[in-house]
Amino acid sequence: MPARVVGEEKVKLKKSFVKPWMGIKYLFKKPVTIKIPFEKIEPAPKYRGFHTLDWKKCVGCNFCGQICPARAIEMTWLEVDGKMEKRPHPKVDYGRCTFCQFCVDVCPTGALGFSEAYILTTDGTEDALELFNWVPIHPDKVRELNERYGDYRFPVVKIEKLGDGTYRYHLRDGEVFEFKILGYGIRPPKKPTPAKPATKATKPAEKKEETAEKAEKKE
């Protein structure tokens, strides 16, 4: 017998005074969600977390930006030590990224990779927010420190910002990285327009002759 939808007027609901109080029992149960960043989950091997990029290998071909299904990658020009880079580098919008790894697979030089770091939340302090300005450390180094200390956040214990714009990162094992934050969104400077060749100024005598000739033509 085929089923059919019954109208609301035919449905008889039983009145109950117990059901509204059934939700109270969940007040005494532990939450199902994880309290990030206070609680951490060990990621699976080769987990797809934040991107890493080898600046020396990147040729700025934009293959990663073209293949990205979420349009999360765009090429941007970087300025290092006051000098503009000769080629652009990819910038990832993690609000759109689906971590599909198409960009890593298509990279012809192997410059793009994935780290196992995945936690984007912070406690809102200035030091914690600066963690998202890092130049990614090689995933093998991050994985080594994660396995040693069992902490799957980015393994930085101290950040120093020097007066010349240089950042100094102190890792858990005592190693120190120094680098400058690369300026995203900077376009290469426009080429200066060539100056127009200067025209020779006419002498006063020549001007008088020209005006005399024009006056004769009018007459």
pLDDT value for 44: 80
Write out the two tokens for 109: 């030089």
Phi/psi for 210 (5° steps) reads -65, -45
Q: Which residues contact 111 (CB under 8 A, 6 or more apart)?
A: 53, 54, 55, 57, 58, 59
In order of 4, 44, 67, 68, 218, the CA distances from 1 in angstroms are 9, 49, 51, 50, 108
82 Ramachandran zone, left/alpha/beta (phi>0; psi -120 to 50): left
Q: pTM for this one?
A: 0.46
Sheet holding 156-161, edge to edge: 156-161, 166-171, 176-180
Question: To the nearest whole number, what is the mean pLDDT of the chain?
Answer: 71
Domain 38-180 bears CATH identifier 3.30.70.20: yes
- Domain regions of the chain by residue span: 38-180
Q: What percent of the chain has pLDDT over 70?
A: 56
pLDDT value for 76: 81
Phi/psi for 33 (5° steps) reads -75, 165
| pLDDT tens column, 62-121 | 999 999 999 989 888 776 666 777 888 888 888 888 999 899 999 999 888 887 777 665
**Region 12-36 average pLDDT:** 72
| pLDDT tens column, 159-208 | 777 776 677 778 778 888 776 654 444 444 455 566 666 565 555 555 55
Q: Give the DSSP letter string of the chain.
A: ----PPPGGG--PPP-SSGGGGGGGGGGSPPSS--TTTS--PPPTT---SEEE-TTT-----HHHHH-TT--EEEEB-EETTEE-SS-EEEE-TTT-----HHHHH-TTS-EEE-S-------S-HHHHGGGGPPPPPHHHHHHHHHHH---S--EEEEEE-TTSEEEEEETTS-EEEEE---TTBPPPPPPPPPPPPPPPPPHHHHHHHHHHHHHHH-
